[in-house]
């Protein structure tokens, strides 16, 4: 639509002679786009309509999008038959009759009143009501909680809307926007009398201590059932399952590690890379072969480092990484380093960096061959790693 905007504006400017519709002249509006809809406005004269027509044709030429004649309508306001006939010849749309409604609102040249917009207001209101029954984003819920305590979890029976109907709320003169504050008088409950038999449990609730002028605070109930003010970091800690860290974690996660290399090594060690043998569980196929040798099934075991290409990369770089004594296989090499002291020594850091880089670049090369048909020799790949 940005392109169409530019085309219309350019044509109006360059071709000259365009007359704006009288209601759009002040703001120089020739068209309005909304979602998939386009509205064009102009004075009913041949020159103006021709400019709009040529703009649509230019746009079709660029984008391949053509106006759907069945869905396009032209509206005339006080235009004589001769002129109407001429314009219909230029833009062969079907002729609509005014007044016309768009999204339920009448398109009027005079001022709109609230009753004119009632359809739209009802639609928005219905949408809002729907939100109550659905899971909302955290932001959305915050917005609602500020207004609707009936939907808020502020007591053990909450949300009250789960058992009090809108009819029951309105009968004693309350609304869905009523707040807890309105039900607490002089430190005691003042629930509607007719609710006594219907919702007796409400009368047994502890009365919250409300402080005038103090805003509501969002609270988080922790795993230990403790209430605390909502704070992202505290909630994150609460949600995290605390497990003992594994010995091999430091092989990939340390302050000097390169995150994308460490991530691939982390996935590979846990056999979580998306190798083709995983696909094979779902579908028996014969073409899921290793892109290096085209002989064996593409798998973690084969890739690190059974296959010739990765094995040569290992042989080429094991000296640089001081990994001569490490077993050349996916699990063995990581476990070998995990058993060593992984301090801040130069040797330990280099060992881990080179190991992770080998996993990363072999995985990258495998993907390039598989998906982009690009190839690097063992020497070229090793040079890339050595330059890091
Ligand atoms: Zn292979």
Give CA–CA dist 370/120, Å, rounded: 53
Write out the residue range of the structural domain in which residue 94 sits.
Answer: 2-98
Q: Is there a single domain that holds both residue 343 and residue 289?
A: yes
* CA 305 to ligand 1 center in whole angstroms: 9
Give CA–CA dist 17/203, Å, rounded: 76
* CA 293 to ligand 1 center in whole angstroms: 4
Q: What pTM does this model have? A: 0.45
pLDDT (tens place) for every residue of the chain, 388 residues total: 777 888 888 889 888 889 998 888 888 888 988 777 888 999 999 899 999 988 888 888 877 777 777 788 898 888 888 889 888 888 888 888 877 877 777 777 677 777 777 777 777 777 666 544 444 444 434 333 333 356 677 777 877 877 888 788 888 888 877 888 888 888 888 899 988 888 888 888 888 877 777 777 777 888 888 888 888 888 888 888 777 889 999 999 999 999 999 999 999 999 999 888 777 666 656 567 899 999 998 999 999 999 999 999 999 999 999 999 999 999 999 999 999 888 889 999 999 999 999 999 999 999 999 889 999 999 999 999 988 8
Closest Cα to residue 128, out of 117, 136, 116, 118? 136
Give CA separation, 218 vs 141, 173, 230, 356, 380, in Å: 11, 28, 6, 43, 57
* Last residue within a domain, chosen from 207, 240, 273: 240
Give CA–CA dist 77/173, Å, rounded: 50
Give CA–CA dist 358/353, Å, rounded: 9
Kind of pairing between the strands at 227-229 and 219-221: antiparallel
Kind of pairing between the strands at 94-96 and 101-102: unpaired
The fraction of the chain above a pLDDT of 70, given in percent, is 91
* CA 368 to ligand 1 center in whole angstroms: 14
Give CA separation, 139 vs 191, 231, 239, in Å: 30, 14, 19
SS3 of residue 215 by DSSP:
coil
* CA 310 to ligand 1 center in whole angstroms: 8
Q: Is there a single domain that holds both residue 155 and residue 57?
A: no
* CA 166 to ligand 1 center in whole angstroms: 68
Q: Is there a single domain that holds both residue 253 and residue 356?
A: yes
In a domain, 343, yes or no: yes
* CA 285 to ligand 1 center in whole angstroms: 17
Closest Cα to residue 308, out of 319, 322, 327, 295? 295
User: HSE of 302 in the Cβ direction (CA atoms, 13 Å)?
Assistant: 16
- The CA radius of gyration of the chain, in Å to the nearest whole number, is 35
In a domain, 103, yes or no: no
* CA 3 to ligand 1 center in whole angstroms: 49
* CA 306 to ligand 1 center in whole angstroms: 7
* CA 250 to ligand 1 center in whole angstroms: 29
Give CA–CA dist 91/89, Å, rounded: 6
Q: What is the pLDDT of residue 133?
A: 43
Give CA–CA dist 7/13, Å, rounded: 10
Q: What is the pLDDT of residue 140?
A: 39
Kind of pairing between the strands at 37-40 and 31-34: antiparallel
Q: Is there a single domain that holds both residue 228 and residue 357?
A: no
* CA 292 to ligand 1 center in whole angstroms: 5
Handedness of CA 33, 39, 45, 49 (dihedral sign): positive
**Helices of type H across 151-199:** 166-170, 180-183, 195-198
Q: What is the pLDDT of residue 172?
A: 86
In a domain, 177, yes or no: yes
Q: Is there a single domain that holds both residue 307 and residue 359?
A: yes
Q: Is there a single domain that holds both residue 58 and residue 141?
A: no
Q: Is there a single domain that holds both residue 255 and residue 235?
A: no
Handedness of CA 262, 266, 269, 273 (dihedral sign): negative
* Last residue within a domain, chosen from 216, 240, 264: 240
Go through the chain and tell me how many residues it has: 388
In a domain, 114, yes or no: no
* CA 280 to ligand 1 center in whole angstroms: 16
Q: What is the pLDDT of residue 364?
A: 96
In a domain, 313, yes or no: yes
Handedness of CA 132, 138, 142, 145 (dihedral sign): positive
Q: Is there a single domain that holds both residue 94 and residue 141?
A: no
Q: Is the N-terminal amide bond of 337 cis, ω within 30° of 0?
A: no
In a domain, 182, yes or no: yes
* CA 291 to ligand 1 center in whole angstroms: 6
Q: Is there a single domain that holds both residue 266 and residue 236?
A: no
* CA 257 to ligand 1 center in whole angstroms: 28
Q: What is the pLDDT of residue 242?
A: 76
Q: Is there a single domain that holds both residue 335 and residue 207?
A: no
In a domain, 191, yes or no: yes
Give CA–CA dist 52/42, Å, rounded: 8
Q: Is there a single domain that holds both residue 254 and residue 291?
A: yes
* CA 364 to ligand 1 center in whole angstroms: 14
Q: Is the N-terminal amide bond of 227 cis, ω within 30° of 0?
A: no
* CA 384 to ligand 1 center in whole angstroms: 21
Number of separate domains in the chain: 3
* CA 214 to ligand 1 center in whole angstroms: 68
Give CA–CA dist 283/287, Å, rounded: 11
Q: What is the pLDDT of residue 141?
A: 40
* CA 296 to ligand 1 center in whole angstroms: 6
* CA 297 to ligand 1 center in whole angstroms: 7
Q: Is there a single domain that holds both residue 199 and residue 314?
A: no
End-to-end CA distance of the chain: 45
* Last residue within a domain, chosen from 98, 126, 150: 98
* CA 295 to ligand 1 center in whole angstroms: 6
* CA 67 to ligand 1 center in whole angstroms: 54
In a domain, 279, yes or no: yes
């Amino acid at each position: 639509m940005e392109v169409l905007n530019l085309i219309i504006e350019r044509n109006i400017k360059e071709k000259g002679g365009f007359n704006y519709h009288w209601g759009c002249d002040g703001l120089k509006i020739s068209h309005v786009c909304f979602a998939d809809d386009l509205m064009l406005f102009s004075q009913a004269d041949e020159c103006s309509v021709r400019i709009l027509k040529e703009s649509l044709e230019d746009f079709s030429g660029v984008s391949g999008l053509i106006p759907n004649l069945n869905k396009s309508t032209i509206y005339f306001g006080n235009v004589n038959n001769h002129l109407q006939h001429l314009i219909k010849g230029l833009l062969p749309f079907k002729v609509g009759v005014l007044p016309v409604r768009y999204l339920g609102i009448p398109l009027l040249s005079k001022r709109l009143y609230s009753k004119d917009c009632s359809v739209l207001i009802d639609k928005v209101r219905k949408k809002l009501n729907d939100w109550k029954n659905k899971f909302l984003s955290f932001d959305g819920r915050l917005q609602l909680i500020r207004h609707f305590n009936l939907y808020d979890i502020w007591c053990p029976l909450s949300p009250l809307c789960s058992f009090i109907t809108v009819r029951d709320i309105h009968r004693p003169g309350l609304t869905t926007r009523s707040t807890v504050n309105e039900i607490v008088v002089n430190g005691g409950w003042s629930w509607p009398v007719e609710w006594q038999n219907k919702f007796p449990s409400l009368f047994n609730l502890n009365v919250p201590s409300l402080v005038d002028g103090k805003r509501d605070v969002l609270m988080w109930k922790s795993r230990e059932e403790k209430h605390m003010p909502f704070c992202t970091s505290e909630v994150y800690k609460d949600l995290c399952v605390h497990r003992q860290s594994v010995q091999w974690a430091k092989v990939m996660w340390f302050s000097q590690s390169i995150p994308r290399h460490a991530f691939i090594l982390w996935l590979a060690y846990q056999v979580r890379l998306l190798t083709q043998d995983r696909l094979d569980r779902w579908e028996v196929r014969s073409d899921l072969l290793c892109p290096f040798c085209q002989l064996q099934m593409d798998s973690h075991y084969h890739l690190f480092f059974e296959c010739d290409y990765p094995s040569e990369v290992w042989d080429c770089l094991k000296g640089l990484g001081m990994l001569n004594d490490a077993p050349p296989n996916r699990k063995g090499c990581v476990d070998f380093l995990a058993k060593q002291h992984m301090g801040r020594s130069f040797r330990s850091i280099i060992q881990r960096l080179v190991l992770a880089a080998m996993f990363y670049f072999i995985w990258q090369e495998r993907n390039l061959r598989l998906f982009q048909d690009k190839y690097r020799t063992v020497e070229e790949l090793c040079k890339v790693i050595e330059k890091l």
